[in-house]
Structure 1
Amino acid sequence: MRRSAKRAAQYRFHLDHAAQAKGVLRLLEEKYGRTDPAHLKLADTYARDVFGDAIYAPWLRVYTAFSGAFKEGWIPDNYYACVVVPHMKGGYGKISNLKPMSRLIFDGDVLPDIAYFANGLFFTDKSVVVPERELEDIVFEHTGRVVFKLDGSMQGNGIHIFDRTNFNPEVIRSLGNGVIQRFIIQHRLFDAFASKPVATLRFTTVVDDAGRISVRACFLRLGRADDTHVLVDREICVPVRLATGELCAEGYMRDWGATEAHPDSGVRFAGVKLPAFAQCVATVLNLHRKIPFVRCVGWDVTVDVDGHVQVMEWNGEHNDVKFSEATQGPCFLDLNWERLQAVP
């Protein structure tokens, strides 16, 4: 019965991904014209011959339409989720869903964590339990605003912003387990694009079979002018050149449409060099060395107004790879992930 339930869940999962990919492909072709059928056929053949099943073709078709040609070595996002993640992470990647664990694992000052709520207790980043009546003074000792993120929150969901006027421990109790973080005042370069939502850099790092850790992709996630934080259904994603830390000339909207400037501020992307980029790279590499058994991690990083790197969260489970594969890939060509077999 468990096997049957798992097969049914996987069937629905692949159907959902096929529907998503077909929707993206339709949007791309509406904007940029029909994709060469010969290139799409190469994607279909590659899915069957290399990954063993046509269910992995839809995202390969999207990458092909986006790039204008098929490239060997691409990893379909649904293959990554159901084959690569179990092999490369097992249950260890799920730790990233438990926000209070991050400080215990990584330590240091790169996390903006102030306090946590878990299993009925409030406690500091030093694991000291705090009486509820003292929590407000501790939380706002060095900041005027905080962000509360629920365990398992992602893609801008499960995020709540408080100041002293609306902060209430009972509200946090009602929301569930999570982390209270200092609200980050972002670097002025990011402010130029949109001043309210804190811009984040999404880095993808991997550990190869020899234990070497490397950055494979990076893109900047920008919110819209009126958003309090970056929302996945409204964000603008701009690929970053890893060699230089410069933004590419075009960013992409939720519908995969290209834009050369932020749609609200009009600030252009071309030629913009990100602040403290080398320090950001060094930070995510150093942090990944503490969890090499989670073989691929997505890191959400920003740079604050003082030029300090801040790691807002990390995703050790199914960190989305489709945008990076389409815009910067193949990102994982040398890792032999295509040889992995699905976990029964």
Structure 2
Amino acid sequence: MILLDAESMVRRSIKRVGQYKFHRDHGVEARKILQFLETEYGKADPVNLRLADTYAREVFGDAIYAPWLRVYTAFSGTFKEGWIPDNYYGSVVVPSMKGWYGKISGLKAISRLIFDGDAIPDVAYFANGLFLTDKNVVVPEREIEGVVFRHCDRVVFKLDRSQQGKGAYIFDKSTFDVEIIKSLGNGVMQKFIIQNSVFNAFASKSVATLRFTTVVDDLGGISVRACFLRLGRAEDTHVQTDREICVPVNLATGELDREGYMSDWAATEEHPDSRIPFSGVTVPAFRQCVATVLELHKKIPFARCVGWDITVDEDDNVQVMEWNGEHNDVKFSEATQGPCFSDLKWERLKAAV
């Protein structure tokens, strides 16, 4: 009994240390963004900032949730009830509304088992020492290259639990090597998507992605709550979080907002490299994109909030590049399109002890 109590105390201590670091890092990031916004656009109204601080304490129960509310406030020029701080989302909402069911999104080899369909661009997997087809049939090492390049000339290999543009590698027939794949670890090989000309005009080397956020309410209803377009820079082979340009998308029309935002939250009305303006551009096949993410979320309703990274190819086909059932970012959507989740009563959830 004493040993069990000691082990429980150690686990709680480790968890507290992890939570402390989590909130500290979020606070540092939020305060850096707030400083930039106030330097660039002027000081935020102190009355509104005090409302954000009060809301953090009275609604979410702790001042540690104030920094993101302050960012949303400074960005919007006003305070809005119903906003969800990103660190509250990560520390309270994610464990409560997803738990272990959300974590499976990091295991690439199971995506087709769950979703299947032409919208999933997976062609093969490497998992636990085995090469597998997209139907999870084991293939000898000497045959996997033929499987991978049967219907495409290039593939992107993404490691399990990869995120923020890290853990992604591009191979063609001349560079593909099974030993390299094995050395990298478990992951998925997806066909390299030739993106729609609308996206290609902004940046041609990287595939632009649409980040849709969908939720399941307490009655099982599934809805889209936010969407933004993620664009890479001219020389990037894939979109990377620390260099991307994000442009909010109107959920009713699929039109891009007039302004997009750099990774430091600086506003821009055009892509910084191609100089293509965002205004007047509509996402191709937008209704099909919406229908696709809603239909896919029906298959995993137990992960109550999902971030979908999808694109549209040169033939207007929707392609689902990955799904995030863990801490999918909500801060950008909350600042630009929120409050996105105010009707879901997430503020009533309690943090796990």
Question: Which TM-score applies when normalising by structure 1?
Answer: 0.99
Matches within 5 A, 1:144-223: 144-223=153-232
Q: After superposition, what is the alpha-carbon deviation per residue over 1:106-146, rounded to whole angstroms, capped at 9, x for unaligned?
A: 01111100000000000001111111111111111111100
1:133 aligns to what? 142
Matches within 5 A, 1:48-63: 48-63=57-72
Instruction: Work out the CA distance in 2 between the residues paired with 1:126 and 1:254.
Output: 37
Give yes or no for the alignment of 1:82 onto 2:87.
no
1:294 aligns to what? 303
Counterpart selection for 1:44 from 39, 53, 59? 53
Instruction: Work out the CA distance in 1 between the residues paired with 2:170 and 2:99.
Output: 33
Counterpart selection for 1:3 from 12, 27, 33? 12
2:7 aligns to what? none
SS class of match (1:149): strand
Instruction: Work out the CA distance in 2 between the residues paired with 1:8 and 1:170.
Output: 38
Gaps of 5+ in 1: none
Give yes or no for the alignment of 1:97 onto 2:106.
yes
Please identify, of 229-238 and 133-142, the stretch whose mean Cα deviation from structure 2 is larger: 133-142
Instruction: Work out the CA distance in 2 between the residues paired with 1:320 and 1:127.
Output: 30
Instruction: Work out the CA distance in 2 between the residues paired with 1:298 and 1:192.
Output: 25
Instruction: Work out the CA distance in 2 between the residues paired with 1:253 and 1:13.
Output: 24
1:275 aligns to what? 284
Deviation at 1:313, TM superposition (A): 0.2
Deviation at 1:205, TM superposition (A): 0.1
SS class of match (2:139): coil
SS class of match (2:73): helix
State the 4+ residue runs in structure 1 displaced beyond 3 angstroms: none
1:318 aligns to what? 327
Instruction: Work out the CA distance in 2 between the residues paired with 1:231 and 1:320.
Output: 14
Instruction: Work out the CA distance in 1 between the residues paired with 2:23 and 2:147.
Output: 46
Instruction: Work out the CA distance in 2 between the residues paired with 1:161 and 1:104.
Output: 24
Deviation at 1:174, TM superposition (A): 0.2
Deviation at 1:87, TM superposition (A): 0.7
Instruction: Work out the CA distance in 2 between the residues paired with 1:79 and 1:144.
Output: 43
Q: After superposition, what is the alpha-carbon deviation per residue over 1:271-290, rounded to whole angstroms, capped at 9, x for unaligned?
A: 11110000000000000000
2:39 aligns to what? 30
Instruction: Work out the CA distance in 1 between the residues paired with 2:326 and 2:263.
Output: 22
Instruction: Work out the CA distance in 1 between the residues paired with 2:118 and 2:301.
Output: 20
SS class of match (2:103): helix
Instruction: Work out the CA distance in 2 between the residues paired with 1:70 and 1:230.
Output: 32
Gaps of 5+ in 2: 1-9
Deviation at 1:255, TM superposition (A): 1.0
Deviation at 1:6, TM superposition (A): 0.7
Deviation at 1:47, TM superposition (A): 0.1
| Aligned amino acid, residue 249 of structure 1 | R
Deviation at 1:220, TM superposition (A): 0.1
| Aligned amino acid, residue 210 of structure 1 | L
Counterpart selection for 2:128 from 119, 136, 145? 119
Instruction: Work out the CA distance in 2 between the residues paired with 1:61 and 1:101.
Output: 39
SS class of match (2:132): strand
| Aligned amino acid, residue 49 of structure 2 | L
Q: After superposition, what is the alpha-carbon deviation per residue over 1:194-244, rounded to whole angstroms, capped at 9, x for unaligned?
A: 101000000000000000000000000000011000011110000000000
Identity %: 74
SS class of match (2:249): strand
SS class of match (2:78): coil
SS class of match (1:217): strand
Instruction: Work out the CA distance in 2 between the residues paired with 1:35 and 1:196.
Output: 38
Deviation at 1:12, TM superposition (A): 1.2
Deviation at 1:169, TM superposition (A): 0.6
1:108 aligns to what? 117
1:251 aligns to what? 260
Counterpart selection for 2:234 from 217, 225, 246? 225
Instruction: Work out the CA distance in 2 between the residues paired with 1:335 and 1:321.
Output: 14
Q: How many residues align?
A: 344
Instruction: Work out the CA distance in 2 between the residues paired with 1:137 and 1:234.
Output: 35
Instruction: Work out the CA distance in 2 between the residues paired with 1:126 and 1:46.
Output: 49
Instruction: Work out the CA distance in 1 between the residues paired with 2:27 and 2:96.
Output: 23
Deviation at 1:65, TM superposition (A): 0.4
| Aligned amino acid, residue 330 of structure 1 | P
